[in-house]
């Protein structure tokens, strides 16, 4: 490809700052310094989260919010920031520091040139961890003006430049079976907690996905056992066993309904064991599903700007579109990173995807 662009240089600067989850202070400092150097109209810093608006809002002008997270997952290999051929490499390249660089690039232009829509941007910490630990509520409380009255929010998570609508909710439940420990040579003296889990595991393996359709897009609701923990050793009949059950629920379910569903599903699967109080269900974490806002006017404007060449898809995963929906905002997923590269060894973002996303968003916001 061509020589390194200014946007790629900015992305490499962000990639060079380690920001593994809960260690985002240095990159937040960089972002705040960048915004101050560009003479951004309004900047709010709360912890390791930064919100800004490039210029004062105008009366009656639609409002757009761009969001990106600053943290990455822990490194799994040696992948220094660099450009090699057609790709831009580094931990977080796709998820989502190249998108963060694009957000800063758009904000910088909006300071110098009035955009079509009023613009706000939020770069926040701790997205890669539990729902309750995210930095987004912290920055929302500190900078409510960036969230109030928003006509469309774009979570710039990796989508390969597709528009991905909505998102699945996700729930993790620890299902614990309480048996009786014994020597494996005399199993009749105990009650095998792993064997007690068999009916639940069998039912999970036989459960078909449930398809949910919105705006012509299909979401697949699925339930899986993802972890198993037990008490004992290889010559011990375990006295307890815990299965982690992950429920990825459709946009037609509220979080409370999903919690009730998992309790009912376990009770029906294990029958009398549940009645004897030998099975407990503890919901560990719930992230809400995201509303599908296919008729949003700003979304249609973005698609028109792309000349009908941009693909719509269902978000078959969870993103902060779920959190934004809970705030009452219309939100979509759109970003230059590749979903298949998120959290991968040798993570990269394709240079052409970053440039294409930049061209589209600059054309949409500045004509």
Per residue, the 3-state secondary structure of the chain, as one string, reads: CCCCCHHHHHHHHHHCCCCECCCCHHHHHHHHHHHHHCCCCEEEEECCEEEEECCCCCCCCCEEEEEEECCECCCCCCCCCEEECCEEECCCHHHHHHHHHHHHHHHHHHHHCCCCCEEEEEEECCCCCCHHHCCHHHHHHHCHHHCCCCCEEEECCCCCCCEEECECEEEEEEEEEECECEECCCHHHCECHHHHCHHHHHHHHHCCCEEEEECCEEEEEEEEEEEEEECCCCCEECCEEEEEEEEEECCCCCHHHHHHHHHHHHHHHHCHHHHCCCEEEEEEEEECCECCCCCCHHHHHHHHHCCCCCCEEECCCCCCHHHHHHCCCCEEECCCCCHHHCCCCCCEEEHHHHHHHHHHHHHHHHC
**Is residue 22 a contact partner of residue 129, using CB atoms and an 8 Å limit?**
yes
Residues assigned a catalytic role: 71, 127
Assess whether pLDDT exceeds 90 at residue 273: no
Q: pLDDT tens-digit profile of 283-292?
A: 999 999 999 9
CATH architecture of the domain formed by 6-166+290-366: 3-Layer(aba) Sandwich (3.40)
Q: pLDDT tens-digit profile of 40-61?
A: 999 999 999 999 999 999 999 9
pLDDT of residue 275: 66
Q: Which two tokens stand for residue 112?
A: 């110098």
Residue 155 and residue 334: Cα distance in Å, rounded?
A: 6
Task: Tally Cβ neighbours within 10 Å of residue 355.
Answer: 17
Residue 118 and residue 55: Cα distance in Å, rounded?
A: 8
Q: pLDDT tens-digit profile of 320-343?
A: 999 999 999 999 999 999 999 999
- Cα dihedral value 56, 60, 61, 66, nearest 10: 70
> Please, what sign has the CA dihedral across residues 195, 197, 203, 209?
negative
Residue 230 and residue 281: Cα distance in Å, rounded?
A: 15
Band of pLDDT at residue 347, cut at 50, 70 and 90: very high
Residue 122 and residue 53: Cα distance in Å, rounded?
A: 9
Give the CATH class of 169-287: alpha beta
Residue 43 and residue 223: Cα distance in Å, rounded?
A: 42
Across the chain, mean pLDDT equals 96
Q: What is the C-alpha end-to-end distance of the chain, expressed in Å?
A: 26
pLDDT of residue 116: 97
Q: pLDDT tens-digit profile of 187-203?
A: 999 999 999 999 999 99
Assess whether pLDDT exceeds 80 at residue 156: yes
pLDDT of residue 221: 98
Residue 37 and residue 310: Cα distance in Å, rounded?
A: 34
Q: pLDDT tens-digit profile of 109-148?
A: 999 999 999 999 999 999 999 999 999 999 999 999 999 9
Domain positions in the chain? 6-166+290-366, 169-287
pLDDT of residue 155: 98
CA atoms within 13 A on the CB side of 160: 9
pLDDT of residue 272: 75
Q: How far is CA 8 from CA 14, 90, 104, 178, 358, in A?
A: 10, 12, 12, 55, 11
pLDDT of residue 253: 96
Residue 8 and residue 88: Cα distance in Å, rounded?
A: 8
pLDDT of residue 276: 72
Q: Which two tokens stand for residue 294?
A: 């296919």
Q: How far is CA 37 from CA 18, 43, 111, 193, 246, in A?
A: 22, 12, 11, 61, 45
What percentage of the chain reaches a pLDDT higher than 90?
95
Band of pLDDT at residue 1, cut at 50, 70 and 90: low
**Is residue 107 a contact partner of residue 122, using CB atoms and an 8 Å limit?**
no
Band of pLDDT at residue 104, cut at 50, 70 and 90: very high
**Is residue 327 a contact partner of residue 140, using CB atoms and an 8 Å limit?**
yes
Q: pLDDT tens-digit profile of 305-319?
A: 999 899 999 999 999
Assess whether pLDDT exceeds 90 at residue 232: no
Assess whether pLDDT exceeds 80 at residue 304: yes
């Amino acid at each position: 490809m061509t020589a390194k662009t200014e946007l790629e240089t900015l992305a490499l600067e962000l990639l060079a700052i380690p920001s593994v989850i809960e260690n985002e202070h240095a990159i937040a400092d960089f972002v705040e310094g960048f915004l101050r150097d560009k003479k951004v109209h309004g900047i709010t810093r709360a912890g390791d989260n930064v919100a800004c608006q490039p210029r004062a809002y105008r009366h009656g002008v639609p409002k757009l919010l761009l969001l990106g997270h600053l943290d990455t997952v822990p490194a799994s290999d040696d992948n220094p920031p660099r450009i090699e051929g057609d790709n831009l490499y580094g931990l977080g390249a796709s998820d989502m520091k190249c998108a963060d660089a694009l957000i800063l690039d758009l904000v910088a232009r909006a300071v110098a040139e009035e955009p079509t829509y009023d613009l706000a941007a939020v770069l926040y910490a701790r997205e890669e961890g539990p729902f309750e630990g995210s930095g987004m509520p912290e920055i929302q409380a500190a900078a409510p003006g960036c969230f109030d009255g928003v006509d469309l929010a774009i979570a710039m998570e990796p989508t390969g430049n597709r528009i991905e609508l909505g998102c699945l909710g996700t729930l993790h439940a620890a299902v614990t079976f309480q048996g009786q420990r014994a020597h494996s040579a005399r199993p009749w003296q105990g009650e095998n907690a792993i064997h007690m889990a068999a009916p639940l595991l069998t039912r999970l393996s036989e459960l078909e996905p449930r398809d949910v359709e919105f705006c012509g897009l299909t979401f697949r609701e699925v339930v899986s056992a993802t972890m198993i923990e037990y008490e004992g050793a290889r010559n011990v009949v375990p006295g307890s066993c815990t299965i982690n059950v992950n429920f990825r629920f459709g946009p037609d379910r509220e979080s409370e309904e999903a919690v009730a569903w998992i309790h009912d599903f376990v009770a029906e699967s294990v029958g009398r064991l549940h009645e004897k109080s030998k099975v407990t269900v503890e919901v560990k974490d719930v992230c809400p599903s995201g509303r599908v806002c296919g008729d949003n006017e700003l979304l249609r404007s973005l698609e028109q700007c792309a000349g009908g060449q941009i693909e719509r898809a269902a978000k078959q995963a969870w993103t902060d579109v779920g959190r934004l929906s809970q705030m009452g905002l219309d939100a979509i997923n759109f970003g230059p990173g590749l979903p298949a590269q998120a959290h991968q060894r040798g993570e990269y973002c394709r240079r052409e995807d970053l440039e294409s996303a930049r061209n589209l968003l600059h054309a949409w916001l500045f004509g």
